[in-house]
Amino acid sequence: MFIPVILGTAREGAQSAKVANYILKKAEEYGFETELVKAGDYIEAQTKRVGVEGNPKAESWKAIVERAEGMIIVVPEYNHSFPGELKLLLDSLYKEYYGKTVGLVGVSNGGLGGARVVENIKTLINNFGMIATQRSLLVSKVQDVFDETGNLKDESYNEKAIKLLDEVKWFAGRLKGGK
Ligand SMILES: Cc1cc2nc3c(=O)[nH]c(=O)nc-3n(C[C@H](O)[C@H](O)[C@H](O)COP(=O)(O)O)c2cc1C
């Protein structure tokens, strides 16, 4: 089962990169085929749809989405919403997302773990016919959860991550990525 992990920000020094790398490792250990997809590597500075001439980045993103049964999106909360980079990435495709499962991982440096962005982004995900798992993973006070090099300090996240992966597998196994 191919389940890429999407890093939903291109902010330099983003703490979410540590979370995405951690989830990637857990997904590999779990037995998913996976890879890290950094939103910033697949977008232009302005909204561009796939199929538009001269948009090879969106073509690469399309190939990943078409192959995927689902995806895990690591999304930091920026002003109670999602980063613009993630919106640019998602807006570059449309029908390709139908029937894909999405596991959401919210990230914040406060105590709410990105709960607001995780609820907020479900509207966008539903628009594409993607299905979010019931459970999400909320990473609160991310600066305390990992050390400077990105090693997990708070081991309670291991169990939470497995619960999310279990749900992604369950939903993706039934939806079969819309194929
Ligand atoms: C533009 C911007 C807006 C932010 N808005 C929020 C917010 O609404 N709620 C929140 O809990 N944290 C907010 N934060 C702080 C992030 O939670 C914090 O930077 C955390 O490390 C996750 O983002 P990162 O992956 O970019 O580091 C914001 C950060 C930025 C850069």
pLDDT in tens, the chain (179 residues): 999 999 999 999 999 999 999 999 999 999 999 999 999 999 999 998 887 777 899 999 999 999 999 999 999 999 999 999 999 999 999 999 999 999 999 999 999 999 999 999 999 999 999 999 999 999 999 999 999 999 999 999 999 999 999 999 999 999 988 88
How much is the pLDDT for 50?
Answer: 83
Largest CA distance in the chain: 47
Distance CA 118, CA 124 (A): 11
Answer for the pair 97, 128: CB distance below 8 angstroms, yes or no.
Answer: yes
Name the percent of the chain lying above pLDDT 90.
Answer: 91
Measured in Å, residue 14 CA sits from the centre of ligand 1 at 9
How much is the pLDDT for 38?
Answer: 98
How much is the pLDDT for 111?
Answer: 96
Q: What's the full length of the chain, in residues?
A: 179
Q: Which atom of ligand 1 is nearest to the CA of 107?
A: 22
| The two structure tokens encoding residue 87 | 């919106």
Answer for the pair 90, 121: CB distance below 8 angstroms, yes or no.
Answer: no
Answer for the pair 7, 16: CB distance below 8 angstroms, yes or no.
Answer: yes
* Residues in the ligand 1 pocket, defined by CB under 6 Å: 9, 11, 14-16, 76-80, 107-110, 112, 142
Q: Take atom 28 of ligand 1 and give the residue whose Cα is closest.
A: 78
Distance CA 55, CA 125 (A): 23
Measured in Å, residue 1 CA sits from the centre of ligand 1 at 31
Q: Which of 85, 126, 145 is nearest to 104 (CA)?
A: 126
Measured in Å, residue 78 CA sits from the centre of ligand 1 at 5
How much is the pLDDT for 49?
Answer: 85
Q: Take atom 29 of ligand 1 and give the residue whose Cα is closest.
A: 78
Note the pTM of the prediction, 2 decimals. Answer: 0.97
How much is the pLDDT for 103?
Answer: 98
DSSP string over 78-124? BTTB--HHHHHHHHT-SGGGTT-EEEEEEE-SSTTTTHHHHHHHHHH
How much is the pLDDT for 41?
Answer: 98
Over its C-alpha atoms, the chain yields an Rg (Å, rounded) of 15
How much is the pLDDT for 51?
Answer: 79
Measured in Å, residue 16 CA sits from the centre of ligand 1 at 9
